Structure 1
Amino acid sequence: MKRWFKQAKFEKHQSGWLFIGLVASFFLFCGLTQSFENDKPTPYTLRYPANFGARYTIPADNPTTKEGVYLGRLLFYEKKLSAGNSISCESCHLQKLAFTDGKALSAGADGSLTTRSSMSLANLLWVRNFFWDGRSPNLEQQAAFPLTNVHEMGQPLEESVAKLRQTALYPPLFKAAFGSDIVTSDHILKALAQFERTLISADSKYDRYLAGIYQPTAQEIRGMELFQNAPNPQKQIRGANCEHCHGGVKTFKELFHNNGLDSIFNDNGRENFTNQPEDKGRFRVPTLRNIMLTAPYMHDGRFQHIEQVLDHYNEHIRESETLSSFLKDVSNEINGKKLMLTQNEKTDIISFLSMLTDSTFITNPEFSNPHLTLKSQ
């Protein structure tokens, strides 16, 4: 498996916290190869299967390094970044749920609810526009929104900086990652982005099947074929039409679609960002990786179960001016107006979707809360 699944390895940075006041001892026990005397931090090699492709962009001013990733990991789980030290990024993005939170809407530091559901953080390295409406072009800018939004973590970056500067833990880590022990908001955002780029999910049954080391069941194969096929009743080809939007090994495309949830919109989606009428009701096409772990579904979390999602696409598409053309008049029956999948076919599709669960991703210790290890020592 090591031949094809290339999850990046990071030295055992949790191995000691006994002499925080001594810089050399700190790095000895944390297992970081970079010392304060070196000019540059250690490059972090992002590893992933070759079929994922290398079509991604990492900002030139924020290269991914071992020190930066470790710092970002600590910050991801750091409650000092929120008002009242009450929540962290983890609060809405739990590793065991593929970095979602199992809620339709998440509670912020002020107790109010967010307006949209928390998205999975899997495979962000390949995403080019973030949030359900695509308003942020990179992870560095993305991080600023939840940190400062009054209904999320609710704290100005300047206050977060002040809190971290007062700790013994963080200034040395900022120096290791960025060359200066002065904590800055820019470096907070950059470190978080570095860690989030390492959250690669690529060890599901589906990945093993593609690598030739897992043989799907007959039901999984039927579900895969339905997932990949567009219906063509004239040729007696049955399909669920999923691959138009969720095609490719990463199961998402850089698209925004109105998927027929509403004909009258409470949330105008991408139009709120672009001000273009044709974007009304359009939202990001999310990855389906780990989909069986990331309920509830859709931008507002309206569907509690995967069966409801399939029922929606099968039977309940609502017409509107911006409805995706991929969903119009698509049917497994000649002259049909609905998808017309059978119950058995929906069950087969769910069997395939279960192949996308990556148990390695949700248990990888390199993505877990490092503060727990520090407190135990």
Structure 2
Amino acid sequence: MKNILVLLLLISFFSCSEKENPNPQEKLKGNYPVEELLYFGDANLPTDNITTYEGVELGRKLFYDKRLSSDGTISCASCHKQELAFTDGRAKSIGVNNEEMPVSAMSLVNLTWNSRLTWDGKSKTLEEQAILPLENHKEMNQDAEITAQILSEIPEYPALFEKAFGSEEITPQKITKALAQFQRTLISNNSKYDKYLRGEYQPTDSELRGIQLFFTHPDAEQGIRGGNCGDCHLGSLTSGSTLGFEGLHNNGLDDDANLKDGLFAVTQNRFDKGKFRTPSLRNIALTAPYMHDGRLQTLEKVIEHYDNGIKKSQTLSSLITAASNDFITDPNGEVRLALTQQEKKDIIAFLEMLTDEEFITNPKFSEPK
């Protein structure tokens, strides 16, 4: 709980600093308020792609434009729907030609505070990540140079690029920069949990117990019960570490014989096999099914997996093997948290606190009219 309390002053400060438009009929111009982009604290904003209102407006239009795909049927928003916290409700997303992806669509939320932006940790920045689905043959399947040419021939786009970047010239780099700017504004900070941190909401007893369990590492010898969730899903962002690849873990979904590559595909280090990015749990109640391949359909099944469904492998995270509410008498025995039924319900009560109704209905993030 200590790490939560440390954030209170910072969050309170930033929550009072948001820039408002005194005239809603007039579009805001210039640099996007840094205090909004850094609501959850310091982060490395790129100096070569300053977020501006004009860039965000352009990025938002591109995000919803199906002409960025080879057959004109898929946009970024096809797999990242606002009402589902920018996921798509599928176990694995569908791209052009009805092609199924190998992984699920990850929620686009609070991305500024993530150092690895794909399930396998390949992309370090939003600018790097944005090009991948555009050109992937299973996703949007269109060379970015061709996309730039197509957009150049659409009357409204050259003027929008000039407003955002000072020139009507449309390039792949400008396309990805605009998409990155829009995605940086997808900040979820008005859930019940955020309101609790700001002193604006009093949680139920179950929610309070869930918060305590979520952020507590169990220690049977000390009589400390915990859910162990916060060991990987850190702080108020409930997402993975931003230090190198430390935010990627093997969370016990498969044994050695069935491990997927994950981070191994990037590093070629055999000790990274089966490791995937730890996503933010913001709006988690809206983003089923769960895990990188969507194999778990409900939050209840997710809790059951961590409680008594862990499969051992050589790269299984030590954060999991070292956590149990029972005394560990056999280090080679079954890995289980040993939560009570009430504790499971309490953790889910906290996870449901992370739903941000404003985020999923905010017209600033919706398809332009």
Superposition TM-score, scaled by structure 2 size? 0.90
Equivalent residue of 2:71, what SS?
Answer: helix
| Greater mean deviation of Cα atoms: 261-270 or 196-205 | 261-270
The runs of 5 or more residues in structure 2 that have no matched partner are 1-10, 242-246, 330-334
Is the 2:15–2:39 contact (alpha carbons within 8 Å) kept by the matching residues of 1?
no
Match of 2:250 in 1: 258
2:195 aligned partner = 208
Q: For 1:183 and 1:258, how far apart are their aligned partners in 2? A: 41
Instruction: String of CA shifts for 1:250-289, please: whole Å, max 9, x gaps.
Output: 0112211000100123521000111011101000011011
Q: Equivalent residues in 2 for 1:321-332 (5 A)?
A: 321-332=314-325
Give the one of 32, 42, 52 matched to 1:65: 52
**2:284 matched to 1:313?**
no
1:298 is matched with 291
Identity rate of aligned residues, in percent? Answer: 49
The structure 2 residue matched to 1:193, chosen from 161, 168, 180, is: 180
Instruction: Calculate the TM-score normalised by the size of structure 1.
Output: 0.88
SS in 1 for 2:281: coil
Q: Distance in 1 between matches of 2:168 and 2:17?
A: 30
Q: Identify the residue that residue 5 of structure 1 maps to in structure 2.
A: 15
Q: Which amino acid aligns with 1:109?
A: V
Cα offsets for 1:309-332 (capped at 9, x unmatched)? 000000011111111001114221
Q: Is the 8 A contact 1:291 1:353 kept in 2?
A: yes
Match of 2:80 in 1: 93
Q: Is the 8 A contact 1:6 1:49 kept in 2?
A: no
Match of 1:236 in 2: 223
What is the CA–CA distance in structure 2 between the aligned matches of 1:167 and 1:10, rounded to whole Å? 32
* RMSD between superposed Cα atoms in Å: 2.1
| Counterparts in 2 of 1:3 and 1:51: CA distance versus 1, 3 Å | closer
Aligned runs of 1:18-57 on 2, under 5 Å? 31-32=26-27, 42-48=30-36, 52-54=40-42, 56-57=43-44
The one-letter code sitting in structure 2 at the alignment partner of 1:269 is G
Structure having the higher Rg: 1
Instruction: Tell me the CA shift for residue 110 of structure 1.
Output: 1.7
Q: How many Å apart are 1:225 and its aligned residue? A: 1.0
Other-structure match for 2:352: 354
Amino acid at match of 2:179: L
Asked if residue 108 in structure 1 is aligned to residue 98 in structure 2, the reply is: no
Structure 1 residue 247: Cα displacement:
2.2
Matched, 1:171 2:158: yes
Give the Cα separation in 1 of the matches to 2:111 and 2:12. Answer: 22
Indicate if the aligned counterparts of 1:72 and 1:194 stay in contact, CA closer than 8 A. yes
Query: Residues 257 and 221 of structure 1: is their aligned pair in 2 closer, same or farther, counting only changes over 3 Å?
Result: same
Corresponding residue of 1:154: 141
Q: 1:27 matched to which residue of 2?
A: none
Contact map agreement 1:260 1:323 (CA 8 A) in 2: yes
Cα distance in 2 for partners of 1:302, 1:132 equals 15
In structure 1, C-alpha distance between the alignment counterparts of 2:213 and 2:136, rounded to whole Å: 41
Q: Deviations over 1:21-42 (max 9, x none)?
A: xxxxxxxxxx3455xxxxxxx1
What SS does the aligned partner of 1:246 have?
Answer: coil
Q: Is the 8 A contact 2:259 2:273 kept in 1?
A: no
Deviates more, 1:326-335 or 1:311-320: 326-335
| 1:339 and 2:337 aligned | yes
Cα distance in 2 for residues equivalent to 1:193 and 1:89: 12
- Per mean C-alpha deviation after superposition, the further-off stretch among 264-273 and 301-310 is 264-273
AA of the residue aligned to 1:368: S
AA at the equivalent of 1:5: S
